[in-house]
Structure 1
Amino acid sequence: MSHPQPLRIGVIGAGGIMRAAHLPGWQQVPGARIVAVCDLDRGTAERFATESAVPADKIYSDVQAMLDGNELDAVDICTPNRAHTPQVLAALERGLHVLCEKPLATTTAEVRQMQAAAASAKKILMTAQNHRFSAISRGIRKFVETDGLGEVYHARIHAVRRNWLPVKPTFIVDAISGGGPCMDIGVHALDLGLWLMGFPDPVRVSGTTKVNFAKGHGIPGGWGEWDRNRFDVEDFASGFVHFANGATLVLEASWLQHQLEKEDFSAQLFGRKAMVKWPSGDLATVIGGSLIDAKVQEVSGLKPSHQEEIFAFVDAIRSGKPSPVPVEQTLKVIAILEAIVESGRQGREIVLPTAN
């Protein structure tokens, strides 16, 4: 019986998403060991080290020191958005595979820089877009791939919350986050929608970003208070996208607004044959002249999406497969989000260059 290829993993950023979502995935991978951890906050790093059996002498506050002081095969990065680019580039320069939390970067220029570095290093660079790996996402994708929808001509993407604004500066200060809900939750919903659509090429984008409520006290925060003086990102964004194949997409992203739902995180794809909604799996179509409501079922036997995401990353490393979330696709996502912000700033539609 063959043993799986051992993998030595370095963790960069040991906060909530790493501990709650990524660590359980790594603990399920045979032959993988987290051997070093780096976080600017020593206490955070120490708590993670205890939970993951990382020795005390392998706790770092400097990324380069961790890379220089250990024999690693890959890194898993869960740091604030603006920190991603230098950390990804440093890891790729050391010849390591990289899994990085979304957004990979907040500008297309940075994504292209990382894309070139990954190609030069011949290493896997994967954005952690976990929603692609959920059981219902896989079920809907399979339905779409078998032409269940027919030609998809429009998508409606929502990542909107009633009063769940993340309060830490790492989310609400542009110099750290690179954006508000657009880059926080909009990036997830948009990636999922584009993936279900087969990633058509975006060609034109119009959009707007606003601060409607975050500077005041009109809507109480569900996750506590935030520093309104430091808040300098949007709390609402919307965009309309045209694709080269004639399809269109509308995106809404917000942290604070008057709505009934605590959160509406959803994608609807409208096709010539049917409509499907994620994550409910609700399906609307017509058969024999009758209106039919149905449901797409989950793919059975899958682990939680963050774990499946890590399994896919490891499988690509061990089997020599391409990145499960190709950088070319991430580039299209960031191009759209970047264009929404720029359209709002310039007050006009933005024409995109070829995204890939």
Structure 2
Amino acid sequence: MNKKLQIGLIGAGGIVQGAHLNPGWLAVPDCEVVAVCDVNPIAAQKLADKFQIPHVFNDYKDLVKMKGLDAVDICTPNKLHTPMVLAALKAGKHVMCEKPLATTVKEVLQMQKAAQAAKKILMTAQHCRFGEHSQAIKAWVDTGALGEVYHARVNATRRNHLPTSPGFINPELSGGGPCLDIGVHALDTAMWLMGFPRPVRVSGRALTNFAKGHEIPGAWGEWDRKMYGVEDFASGYVHFDNGATMALEASWLQHQEKEDWNATLLGKKASVTWPTGKFYTAINRSLIDGVIQPKPGVKPAHTEEILAFADAIRNDKPSPVPVEQTLSVIAILEGIMTSSAVNKEVSIPKYA
């Protein structure tokens, strides 16, 4: 494939403008964004005018049928992902889709089957894997420095940064709150660092503690309390097939000093925390602390993930974020919500 990759964007919101398009696709050589689609015609045209995108659509079904288009980048509310991904794959396009790929395991399995049938790449945009700190920590972990990882602590918690748009707080659009919005990032990164052990059972709790009231002021402004229908806090405890466990917390609003966004892996040789790279071990009865330095030469994480996606298309490589891995992530998050609803631990089937 010698020509420039022709890319279509579905969604013209903030994540597209601030990450996927710039510094994303615009920083990738031999790629050209040729189409954008949004249900808001003003937003779509405004983005097209700003970045000289020649084709504008208001229906994703029309965009995916566009001749010459190689790939589609989907950045829309969570509950809209599945029909858009399926339509793009059916039309013979490679697909990168913002996290979470879907809100249920059933939908991810549908997408997996469609990608296999179309023989096209399907990639979840889990950009946290691609940053300079993540890449350095992963390389260190893969040397075996941690030994057997027996537990992980994963946090994606905020004090008062609740996203206010309907795409986040209306369950008909989002399918969930901070668990699916930011918890998915920290969980995916932790699982990736651990080598993706298979989750077998999970218990969880999802609560709306503050979002219906006015006690905590929102750093991003006010939101519609009547529309708000998702959790503002979730926690989970996961058991894996190799005996390891994981504790997960995600929140948009709670009483804490500042945002807490990290994952700590506890191993029998050492521990390490992402994204700081701080590690702790003991050698010859001496306690040792250290810091893994960022990997040099790494571009911004969103640029790196898009570079990896484009490279996979051009060189017939596997998806940089395989659907099988996303399946485990969504199984855990869905399991947390199910466990909270039935008030007991739930099993996670083996998906093969």
* Cα distance, 1:112 vs structure 2: 0.1
- Shift of the 4–301 alpha-carbon distance from structure 1 to 2, 3 Å rule, reads farther
In 1, the alpha carbon distance for the partners of 2:3 and 2:277 equals: 37
- Aligned position for 1:46: 45
In 2, the alpha carbon distance for the partners of 1:324 and 1:196 equals: 14
- Aligned position for 2:8: 10
Residue 161 of structure 1, aligned match among 143, 148, 158 = 158
- Aligned position for 2:33: 34
In 2, the alpha carbon distance for the partners of 1:14 and 1:194 equals: 30
- For the residue of structure 1 that corresponds to 2:27, the secondary structure is coil
Sequence identity of aligned pairs in percent?
A: 60
- For the residue of structure 2 that corresponds to 1:27, the secondary structure is helix
* Cα distance, 1:95 vs structure 2: 0.5
- Aligned position for 2:59: 62
Opposite residue 179 of structure 1, the aligned amino acid is: G
* Larger CA deviation: 20-29 vs 143-152: 20-29
In 2, the alpha carbon distance for the partners of 1:11 and 1:235 equals: 30
* Cα distance, 1:292 vs structure 2: 1.0
- For the residue of structure 1 that corresponds to 2:48, the secondary structure is helix
8 A contact 2:298–2:304 mirrored in 1: yes
Residue 276 of structure 1, aligned match among 272, 292, 297 = 272
In 2, the alpha carbon distance for the partners of 1:66 and 1:306 equals: 23
- Aligned position for 1:72: 69
- Aligned position for 1:304: 300
In 2, the alpha carbon distance for the partners of 1:287 and 1:246 equals: 25
* Larger CA deviation: 162-171 vs 17-26: 17-26
- Aligned position for 1:293: 289
Give TM-score, length-normalised by structure 2. Answer: 0.98
8 A contact 1:210–1:237 mirrored in 2: yes
In 2, the alpha carbon distance for the partners of 1:234 and 1:292 equals: 40
- Aligned position for 2:132: 135
In 1, the alpha carbon distance for the partners of 2:249 and 2:351 equals: 21
- Following superposition, which runs of at least 4 residues in structure 1 exceed 4 angstroms of deviation? none
Structure 1 stretches lacking a partner, 5+ long: none
- For the residue of structure 1 that corresponds to 2:298, the secondary structure is coil
Opposite residue 8 of structure 1, the aligned amino acid is: Q
- Pairs within 5 Å for 1:108-147: 108-147=105-144
- Aligned position for 2:194: 197
- Pairs within 5 Å for 1:244-283: 244-261=241-258, 263-283=259-279
Give TM-score, length-normalised by structure 1. Answer: 0.97
* Cα distance, 1:4 vs structure 2: 4.5
- For the residue of structure 2 that corresponds to 1:331, the secondary structure is helix
- Aligned position for 1:333: 329
8 A contact 1:201–1:355 mirrored in 2: no
8 A contact 2:64–2:93 mirrored in 1: no
In 1, the alpha carbon distance for the partners of 2:133 and 2:302 equals: 14
- For the residue of structure 2 that corresponds to 1:120, the secondary structure is helix
In 1, the alpha carbon distance for the partners of 2:217 and 2:34 equals: 42
Opposite residue 204 of structure 1, the aligned amino acid is: R
- Aligned position for 2:319: 323
- For the residue of structure 1 that corresponds to 2:324, the secondary structure is helix
* Cα distance, 1:51 vs structure 2: 2.7
8 A contact 1:95–1:123 mirrored in 2: yes
* Cα distance, 1:48 vs structure 2: 1.3
- Pairs within 5 Å for 1:91-240: 91-240=88-237
- For the residue of structure 1 that corresponds to 2:271, the secondary structure is strand
* Cα distance, 1:173 vs structure 2: 0.7
8 A contact 2:28–2:303 mirrored in 1: no
* Cα distance, 1:136 vs structure 2: 0.6
Deviations 1:239-290 (A, max 9, x none): 00000000000000000000011x1110000000111001111111112211
Opposite residue 286 of structure 1, the aligned amino acid is: A
* Cα distance, 1:208 vs structure 2: 0.5
- Aligned position for 1:21: 19
8 A contact 1:81–1:178 mirrored in 2: yes
* Cα distance, 1:54 vs structure 2: 1.1
In 1, the alpha carbon distance for the partners of 2:269 and 2:262 equals: 20
* Cα distance, 1:172 vs structure 2: 0.4
Provide the aligned length of Structure 1 versus Structure 2. Answer: 351
In 2, the alpha carbon distance for the partners of 1:138 and 1:155 equals: 18
Deviations 1:101-141 (A, max 9, x none): 00000000000000000000000000000000001101110
Deviations 1:19-57 (A, max 9, x none): 1101122112222111111001112112211232112xx
Opposite residue 274 of structure 1, the aligned amino acid is: A
In 1, the alpha carbon distance for the partners of 2:262 and 2:90 equals: 37
In 2, the alpha carbon distance for the partners of 1:124 and 1:10 equals: 15
* Cα distance, 1:6 vs structure 2: 1.8
In 1, the alpha carbon distance for the partners of 2:30 and 2:263 equals: 36
8 A contact 1:81–1:176 mirrored in 2: yes
In 2, the alpha carbon distance for the partners of 1:9 and 1:279 equals: 31
8 A contact 1:10–1:36 mirrored in 2: yes
In 1, the alpha carbon distance for the partners of 2:272 and 2:50 equals: 40
Residue 350 of structure 2, aligned match among 345, 351, 354 = 354
